[in-house]
A and B are shown apart, each in its own frame.
Chain A
C-alpha cells in the first residue's frame, strides 16, 4: 500500500490537492485585507482621538484634581473649572429622563400593544421615524420658539428647564423607536396566555410584557439619554450660556444655581473653550472632554449593570 501512494498520487490526493491548494487565493486575501483595513482605520481614529485628548488634557486634570470639577468658570485659563457645566448637564439629563422616558415608553406601548392598524397609526409611526431624523439644531429652534418665547411664563425663559425640555423632545422619537423594538421582541404567546386567563390588556402589559421587555427598554433608554448628554447644538438656541464669566458661585447651591440664573452644560463649555484661540485653552478643553467622556462611560456602565440586574430578576 505504501508503494502505491509513493509512486503515483491517488485520485483522492489529486482532488484534495486541487481543493485545498486553492485555499489561499490572492484575491481573497487582498479583499479581506482591504475590508479589515477599512474597519480598523475607523477604530484607529477612535484610538488616536482618545490618545490625543488624553495627551493634551490628562496633565491638567491630574494637576488640578477634583478642583477642576468644583471651581466655577472663569475667563482665566489658569483657574477655570467646569462646576456649572457638570451641574447643568446633570440637571438637563434629569429633566430628559423625567420627561422623555415615561412619554417614550407610553407612546411605544400604545403603538405596539394598542394601536389598530389604520391610517392614523401608520401616520404616527412614519412621523416618529421622520422626527428621529430631524437635525438636532432644528430642535434648538423649536425650543427657542416654544419654550423660550411662547411658554416663557412656565419655563422662565432661558432656564435649565427650557434646555431640558428641548433635549427631551429631541430624544423622544429615538426613545419610542428603541422601546418599540424591545416590546416587539416579547413573544406573542405571553400576551395570549395572560389574556387567555382573563387579564385585560393593561394588566397583561403591566404584569407580563413590560417586565420581560424592561432590560432592553432600559438599555435603549440609557443609550438615548447618553446622546442627550453630549448634545450641544440645541442648547445653543435654547438658552445655554456661553459666557466665560458665570455669575453664580458654587457656594450658592444647586437649586439657586439652576433656577435663578441662566445655565450652561458641559458640552457647551467644551464648545466655547475649543473656540478660544489661546494655547492654554487646548489643555483645558481636553480635560473637560475627558470628564465628559468619563461621565458618558459611567452612564453606559449603569445601563449594563441595570440590564444585568433586571435580567437576573426576571429569570
Chain B
C-alpha cells in the first residue's frame, strides 16, 4: 500500500524580506512619480488664488484700455497680449523657414558625416541661455541689423521677436527632423521609382508625409515663444504703452511679469491703486499657463490625430 506524501506545492513566492523590500521600493518610486501631480496642483493653486484677487479687484472693462501701468492701477491685458502676439508672430516668421529648411536638409540631403557635424552645432545653439540671446538682441541685432534698415527705438519688439525666433529655431528643426526621419524609406524609394527628382521627393512626398509632426513642432515652438521671458525682458524694454507696430518698446506678458518681479514698477502712488500690483503678476502667469497648456495639448492632439500609420 503506497502512501502518497501530502503534496505541498513548492513555495515560489520567495523570501518575505525580499518581497517587503520590493514593495517598499515600488511605493517609494510611485511617490516620486506622483509628485508631478502635486507640482501641477501647486502651480494651479498658487496662481489661481492671487489671480482671483486680481479679477475681483480690477474692472474687466479696463482690460481693453490702453496701457499696462500697474503703478497707476492700469492693467490693460490688451496691451501685453498684443505685444506678445507681435513678438511670437515675428519669432515664428524667423524660425519657421530657418528651422524647417534646416530640418529638411539634415533629414534628406546631408551626408552622414556632414550631419554628424551640423546637428551638434545646432544643439549648441539650443543650449545658449536665453539671457545671452537677450543681450545679443539688444546690443547686436538692434543697432546692427534693425536700425540701419528701419527706424526703431533702442528697445523694440522687433529685435525681441527676432531673438526669440533664433531661440526656437533648434526646437523647430529637431522636432520636425525627427518627424521626417520617421517617414519610411519605402515612400522615398517609390517616389524615385516613379522618376521623381530629389527635391520633388523631399518637398512633395516626405514633407507632406511628416506634416503632423511638423505642425506639432511649430505649435510647440509657438508655445515656447509665448512663454520666453529673458529675451523680451532685455530687448523689448519696459514701456507699458500700447504700440501697434514693433518699432518701439513694449511690455509683453512675460516682459510685464519680469518687470513687476524686479520691482521697477512696484512703487505705489497714493492715488488710484486699489489692487496690489503683485496680484496682476499671478493673473498674467495664469493666462500664460493656460495658453501654453492649450498649445501643448493641441500639438499632441495634432500628432495623434493626423499621424499617418505606416
Q: Give me the interface of A with B, judged by CB distance under 8 Å.
A: 25, 27-28, 30-32, 34-39, 41-43, 45-46, 48-49, 52-53, 56, 102-104, 106-107, 109-111, 114-115, 123-124, 127-131, 133-142, 144-146, 169, 172-173, 176, 198, 200-203, 223, 226-227, 229-233, 236-237, 242, 267, 270-271, 274-275, 282, 285-286, 289, 292-293, 296, 300
Q: A42-B102, A114-B30, A137-B258 are in contact. Are A271 and B46 (CB under 8 A)?
A: no
Q: Which residue of A is nearest B18, CB measured?
A: A200
Size of B's binding interface in residues, CB under 8 A: 87
CB distance from B141 to the nearest CB of A (A): 9
Is B202 part of the contact surface with A, judged by Cβ < 8 Å?
yes
Q: Which residue of B is nearest A35, CB measured?
A: B105
Q: A130-B296, A131-B40, A137-B257 are in contact. Are A38 and B101 (CB under 8 A)?
A: yes
- Chain A residues with CB under 8 Å of B146's CB are none
CA distance in complex: A110, B98 (Å): 39
Q: List 10 A-B contacts (CB under 8 A).
A: A28-B199, A31-B202, A103-B32, A104-B32, A106-B32, A110-B33, A138-B288, A145-B47, A232-B230, A274-B135
CB distance from A141 to the nearest CB of B (A): 5
CB distance from B113 to the nearest CB of A (A): 15
- Chain B residues with CB under 8 Å of A48's CB are 140
Is B25 part of the contact surface with A, judged by Cβ < 8 Å?
yes
- Chain A residues with CB under 8 Å of B234's CB are 271, 274-275
Is B35 part of the contact surface with A, judged by Cβ < 8 Å?
yes
Of B97, B127, B130, most buried by chain A (CB within 10 Å of CB) is B127
Is B121 part of the contact surface with A, judged by Cβ < 8 Å?
yes
Q: Which residue of A is nearest B297, CB measured?
A: A130
Interface string of B219-235 (1 = CB under 8 A from A): 01001101111100110
B125–A45 touching, CB < 8 Å: yes
A274–B122 touching, CB < 8 Å: no
Q: Which residue of B is nearest A47, CB measured?
A: B121
Is B182 part of the contact surface with A, judged by Cβ < 8 Å?
no
A31–B102 touching, CB < 8 Å: no
- Chain A residues with CB under 8 Å of B22's CB are 200-202
CB distance from A223 to the nearest CB of B (A): 8
| Residues 164-204 (chain B) with a chain A CB within 8 angstroms | 166, 169-170, 173, 197-199, 202-203
- Chain B residues with CB under 8 Å of A229's CB are 129
A169–B39 touching, CB < 8 Å: yes
A32–B105 touching, CB < 8 Å: yes
- Chain A residues with CB under 8 Å of B109's CB are 32, 35-36
- Chain A residues with CB under 8 Å of B36's CB are 107, 124, 127-128, 131, 172-173, 176
A39–B101 touching, CB < 8 Å: yes
- Chain A residues with CB under 8 Å of B25's CB are 202
- Chain B residues with CB under 8 Å of A236's CB are 229, 258, 261-262
Q: Which residue of A is nearest B97, CB measured?
A: A38
Is B26 part of the contact surface with A, judged by Cβ < 8 Å?
yes
- Chain B residues with CB under 8 Å of A49's CB are 128, 132-133, 136, 140
A145–B46 touching, CB < 8 Å: yes
Q: Which residue of B is nearest A37, CB measured?
A: B101
Is B14 part of the contact surface with A, judged by Cβ < 8 Å?
yes
- Chain A residues with CB under 8 Å of B50's CB are 145
CA distance in complex: A200, B197 (Å): 56
**7 more CB-based (< 8 A) A-B contacts, given A107-B32, A141-B281:** A25-B199, A39-B106, A56-B139, A107-B35, A139-B43, A230-B127, A271-B230
CA distance in complex: A106, B118 (Å): 34
- Chain A residues with CB under 8 Å of B46's CB are 141-142, 144-146
A52–B136 touching, CB < 8 Å: yes
CB distance from B283 to the nearest CB of A (A): 11
Q: A49-B133, A110-B32, A172-B36 are in contact. Are A134 and B105 (CB under 8 A)?
A: no
A137–B128 touching, CB < 8 Å: no
A27–B125 touching, CB < 8 Å: no
- Chain B residues with CB under 8 Å of A43's CB are 118, 121-122, 125
B300–A129 touching, CB < 8 Å: yes
A296–B43 touching, CB < 8 Å: no
CB distance from B126 to the nearest CB of A (A): 10
Cβ-neighbour of A233 out of B26, B139, B254, B289 (below 8 A): B254
Is B124 part of the contact surface with A, judged by Cβ < 8 Å?
yes
